[in-house]
């Protein structure tokens, strides 16, 4: 009654149906409510700071965009990669010390509402600024027989070395 070819065709139809059931509901795959990344302040403009862990494929199922238009990061087209577009600076002098953006995730060919996924990027320091003394020069009179470690005056930084 059933031929071997019929089972193969039926099996291929089932596999094809399973492929279309891949979840693309625009939520984080690990179940979190936000994405967090660390970025070094010496990261080059154009470098990838992180990859969003969102279900769905930006090439076919979902579209990703940023709510903030003047952000120092962008989303690479047809990908989940966060790309640095402006320099970062931990001290906040030459760029932002942290980045907080909202990613808008839309399901293609669907009337479902958009999802907002908060993304927090913390900038790590690379010690590019040498310490500076405020109010220098300082004058201290100390006897030559003073023992190392003796307090000269009260205060947080009053130990002599």
Q: Give residue 117's pLDDT band: very low, low, confident or very high (50, 70, 90).
A: very high
Residue 151 domain-assigned (yes or no): no
What does the alpha-carbon distance between residue 63 and residue 106 come to, in Å, rounded to a whole number?
5
Residue 133 domain-assigned (yes or no): no
pLDDT at residue 137 is higher than 60: yes
CA angle 79, 104, 109 (to 5 degrees): 75
Q: What per-residue confidence (pLDDT) applies to 128?
A: 77
Looking at residue 103, which CATH number applies to its domain? 2.60.40.60
Region of poorest pLDDT, from 79-88, 91-100, 121-130: 121-130
What does the alpha-carbon distance between residue 111 and residue 56 come to, in Å, rounded to a whole number?
16
Residue 37 domain-assigned (yes or no): yes
Strand 48-51 vs strand 35-40: parallel, antiparallel, or unpaired?
Answer: unpaired
User: Domain count of the chain?
Assistant: 1
Q: What per-residue confidence (pLDDT) applies to 149?
A: 79
For 32-59, how does the pLDDT look when each residue is reduced to its tens digit (9 = 90+)?
A: 899 999 999 999 999 999 999 998 899 9
Q: Give residue 111's pLDDT band: very low, low, confident or very high (50, 70, 90).
A: confident
Q: What per-residue confidence (pLDDT) applies to 159?
A: 53
Q: What per-residue confidence (pLDDT) applies to 77?
A: 95
Range of the domain at 106: 25-124
* pTM for this predicted structure: 0.67
């Amino acid at each position: 009654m059933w031929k071997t070819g019929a089972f193969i065709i039926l099996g291929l139809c089932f596999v094809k149906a399973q492929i279309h059931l891949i979840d693309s509901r625009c939520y984080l795959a690990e179940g979190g409510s936000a994405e967090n990344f660390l970025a070094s302040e010496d990261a080059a403009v154009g470098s990838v700071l992180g990859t969003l862990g969102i279900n769905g494929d930006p090439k076919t199922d979902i579209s990703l965009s940023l709510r903030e238009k003047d952000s120092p990061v962008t989303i690479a087209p047809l990908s989940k990669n966060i790309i640095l577009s402006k320099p970062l600076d931990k001290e906040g002098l030459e760029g932002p010390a942290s980045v907080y953006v909202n990613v808008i995730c839309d399901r293609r060919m669907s009337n479902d509402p958009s999802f907002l996924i908060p993304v927090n990027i913390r900038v790590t320091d690379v010690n590019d600024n040498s310490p500076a003394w405020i109010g220098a020069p300082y004058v201290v009179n100390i006897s030559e027989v003073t023992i190392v470690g003796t307090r000269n005056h009260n205060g947080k930084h009053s130990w002599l070395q």
